[in-house]
Structures are given as structure tokens and as C-alpha cells.
Amino acid sequence: MPFQWGKNDCCLLVADWIRFATGQDVAADFRGKYRSENGAFKQLFKRGLNDVQSVFKDRLNREIPIAYARRGDCALVEFNGELVGGIVTVNAVVCVGENGLVTKPMSCVKAVYPLEPRNV
């Protein structure tokens, strides 16, 4: 499915994965409330957040060193000059691109948030 604000964007990709894997919906209060980039940022600002990184820090488990990333963890990824959400796979990370899912190398990962809390 191609990128679409409020349906298949980088934050909802991660939130949908977390909901599937854990049953917890970290985006329940965002779902269905925006359909554009401007609308997404309005929703963020209403909650005291200002970008994808602030959402991850607010909603996900505590950040861990990239070297400890495991398959299924959530990641902040540099993609087309922006930080976007992704999901760690085997030696790579999956993100939403213009035409659907894309795979990026782990060297693009700027931060990792474990799916389940863990001490490293």
C-alpha cells in the first residue's frame, strides 16, 4: 500500500505493528483524525509533540543502543532527508515509501525503541 497520511504513514506503520504484536494501540488517539501532513502536525502539536522523534520518545519504550536492535523493534530512520518510523528486520529496516514498503540498511537507523521493554 502506498504512503498515505492518516492511513499508511510512517507513524501508523509502527503503531499498527505494535498493536499487532502486543495488543497495545499507541496511536489510538491519533487514528482517523488527520488526512494530510498539516493535519498530522496539528494532531502532534495538540499533544505537545512536534516530530516523529518526539512521538517515539513519548509513546514507545525507552531508546536502546542501535547495536542491540532486534527483529521487530521500532526505529527512527533517515529516509529522503527526514526521520521516519520503521521496523527492524534481519540486518535492515522496513519503512513506508511512496509506492509501498521499502527496505533500508541498518546504517540509516538513527535510534531504536524496543518492541518490549528491556535493559541493555
Q: What is the pLDDT of residues 51-103, one digit of tens each?
A: 999 999 999 999 999 999 999 999 999 999 999 999 999 999 999 999 999 99
Q: What pLDDT is attached to residue 84?
A: 96
How many other CB atoms are found less than 10 A from the CB of residue 19?
16
Q: What pLDDT is attached to residue 75?
A: 98
- Find the domain containing 103 and state its range: 10-113
Give the count of domains, the chain.
1
70 in any annotated domain: yes
The alpha-helical segments, DSSP class H, found in the chain are: 10-22, 37-46, 52-59
5 in any annotated domain: no
Place of cell 498539516: 38
Where does residue 36 rank: exposed (0-12), middle (13-18), buried (19+ CB within 10 A)?
A: exposed
Entry pTM: 0.93
4 in any annotated domain: no
Residue 120, pLDDT above cutoff 80: no
104 in any annotated domain: yes
106 in any annotated domain: yes
